[in-house]
Amino acid sequence: MGRHVGLLGGTFDPPHVGHLVVAESARVDLGLDQVRLLVAGDPWMKRTVGEAHHRVAMAQAAVVDDAHLHVDARETERDGPTYTVETLEALHHEEPDVTWHFLLGADTTARLDEWQRIEDAYRLARFVAVTRPGHEVRLDPVAAQHVDELEVPRLEISSTELRARYAEGRATRYLVPEAVDRYVRRHQLYDAVG
């Protein structure tokens, strides 16, 4: 039997403890061999603030002490918009013995029908909607056949809020891994971000 690997996509701008809780919950609850933080390059549905090399470095700092969490920066190395289906095709080609589990926020599931070649993506990975206690995942009938749900502990942390906290000089300790906090401060990444 091959390995089971989770892919947690995101801009990680910056990565925070909420990301790590999702990754670890998925690893344990789904019986995954590892989870990879898939750092988005130029996601066609979301705007990024930080430069790709900084976001990759922060993601690496966030998981450096965890043997089960890794960083995949392939999307930051491609030109133009990045699409999940293309990443999944490349991963299948490189590691055909792996069963892929694509982890996404429950809020994202409502727009799955807008994704590029979503039917192909469903064939390449099992999609897992990460939800919080008390929140319901809404899926259309097609998506419901391809998306599982995973409830994880509720943490009210967002990268947008964290960027504002850094810019305003507010507390960030314990919201991001210590190594990420040091990196952000050393490079003054969000000093001018509102």
Average pLDDT over residues 150-163: 89
- The predicted-structure confidence for 108-121, as pLDDT tens digits, reads as follows 787 888 889 999 99
- The predicted-structure confidence for 14-32, as pLDDT tens digits, reads as follows 999 999 999 999 999 999 9
- pLDDT score of 2 more than 60: yes
- The predicted-structure confidence for 131-149, as pLDDT tens digits, reads as follows 876 667 878 888 888 999 9
Judge contact between 27 and 173, C-beta under 8 A.
no
The pLDDT value given to residue 29 = 97
CA distance 3 to 26: 14
The pLDDT value given to residue 194 = 41
- Domain assignments of the chain as residue spans, ordered by start: 4-156
Q: Print the SS3 string covering the chain.
A: CCCEEEEEEECCCCCCHHHHHHHHHHHHHCCCCEEEEEECCCECCCCCCCCHHHHHHHHHHHHCCCCCEEEECHHHHCCCCECHHHHHHHHHHHCCCCEEEEEEEHHHHHHHHHCCCHHHHHHHCEEEEEECCCCCCCCCHHHHCCEEEEECCCCCCCHHHHHHHHHHCCCCECCECHHHHHHHHHHCCCCCCC
The pLDDT value given to residue 138 = 79
Residue 176's CB: how many other CB atoms inside 10 A?
Answer: 27
Share of the chain above pLDDT 70, in %: 92
Radius of gyration of the chain from Cα atoms? 16
Looking at the domain that runs over 4-156, which CATH code has it been given? 3.40.50.620
Looking at 62-66, 171-175, 190-194, which range is the least confident one?
A: 190-194
- pLDDT score of 185 more than 60: yes
Q: Is the pTM of this model over 0.85?
A: yes
- The predicted-structure confidence for 62-96, as pLDDT tens digits, reads as follows 999 999 999 999 999 988 888 899 999 999 999 99
CA distance 77 to 52: 9
Residue 160's CB: how many other CB atoms inside 10 A?
Answer: 10
Instruction: Count Cβ atoms within 10 A of the Cβ of residue 64 and give its class: 0-12 exposed, 13-18 middle, 19 or more buried.
Output: exposed
Please report, in angstroms and rounded to a whole number, the separation of the first and last CA atoms in the chain.
48
pLDDT band at 43 (very low <50, low <70, confident <90, very high): low
Peptide bond just before 14 cis, omega within 30 deg: yes
The pLDDT value given to residue 110 = 76
